[in-house]
Amino acid sequence: MNLGITFTDGDWTVAQPDGAPEIYYPFEGDSIPGVYPLFLYTDPDYDVIPVGTSPNLQPPNTNARAIIIEQDFMVQAAVYTPMLLNTAYNPAWSLGWNGPDDLSTCFLINEGRVEPIVSGIVKVRRTFANLPPSRNRYESFTFQFPGYTTNGGTSRQSFSMTVNSRLQSDFFLLSNFNNALPPIIPQFLVFEFEDGNVIIDPPALADPNMATSSFGTTPPLASYVLAIGNQEIVAETSHLNKWRGNIYERVTRFVVAR
């Protein structure tokens, strides 16, 4: 049995490491950066968000930027208390870790099974992680691009097309006392006519299905035309996943405007 470096005095009233930590990196493959500004609805207008500015975060991160630590701890069963999620990892527990990562940035994401050992001593495996940085991966996706009609009569039909999409994962840590969820990024939306053609410029005649009495629409056609081939739009509203412990992952899909 490996009792680590702190059980030599026989004090088992405080949980201490049983052996060195096991450290690994949870992501397969590195994050692939994007290059396009984001054409994003930020109430009440659409704005162009440059690369590197929230929420258009597209860093070329390596998978080593996210850390997972698993380590066994031992303590008297009579005084064992589960550790609170988000409790910071103590680098003194790392038994001389000389790796490239700062383990002090990690915090508890899981309190494992309590296992009886001998003479009233129990062992528990604890898992720690840091907050992963934003990451990107790419996936094919079929998107319905808008059609439009201008005042001058220029028009095109709405069409669907399978394209490369960028899935951006942003990670957020919830506290044990404040469960405010991260903000959702809304899908790119424009007004529709009855026939399914999307109108993003003042039409020649008002349509009864327009969401406003004004001829103006959001976004204006001139802005969307500038985005075509040059800027990304939000193809799907963000969705949230619980990643580990109190860490939540927000996934948003982007496609280049066409």
The model's pLDDT over 1-19, given as tens digits with 9 standing for 90+, comes to: 344 444 444 577 889 999 8
Give the other-Cβ count within 10 Å of 218's Cβ.
Answer: 16
According to the model, what pLDDT value does residue 193 have?
A: 54
Residue that the structure tokens 């992952």 belong to: 249
Higher pLDDT, 184 or 210: 184
Beta strands in 15-95 (DSSP E): 16-17, 22-24, 38-42, 45-49, 68-76
According to the model, what pLDDT value does residue 152 have?
A: 62
Give the other-Cβ count within 10 Å of 69's Cβ.
Answer: 23
Q: Which of 16-20, 48-52, 57-61 is predicted least confidently?
A: 57-61
Cα-based angle 120, 121, 127 (whole degrees, multiple of 5): 145
According to the model, what pLDDT value does residue 190 have?
A: 75
Going from the C-alpha of 72 to that of each of 14, 69, 81, 97, 246, the distances in angstroms are 13, 10, 15, 16, 21
Mean pLDDT (whole number) for 112-130: 94
Residue 115 has pLDDT above 70, yes or no: yes
Write down the domain spans for the chain. 16-29+62-129, 38-59+133-256
Question: Rounded to an integer, what is the distance from CA 136 to the centroid of its chain?
Answer: 9
Residue 214 has pLDDT above 70, yes or no: no
- For the record, the structure tokens of 191 come out as 């007004």
Residue 140 has pLDDT above 80, yes or no: yes
Peptide linkage before 44 cis (omega within 30 of 0)? yes
Residue 211 has pLDDT above 50, yes or no: no
Interatomic CA distance for residues 129 and 7, integer angstroms: 25
Helix (H, G, I), strand (E, B) or coil at 126: strand
- The mean pLDDT of the chain is 85
Percentage of the chain surpassing pLDDT 90?
A: 59
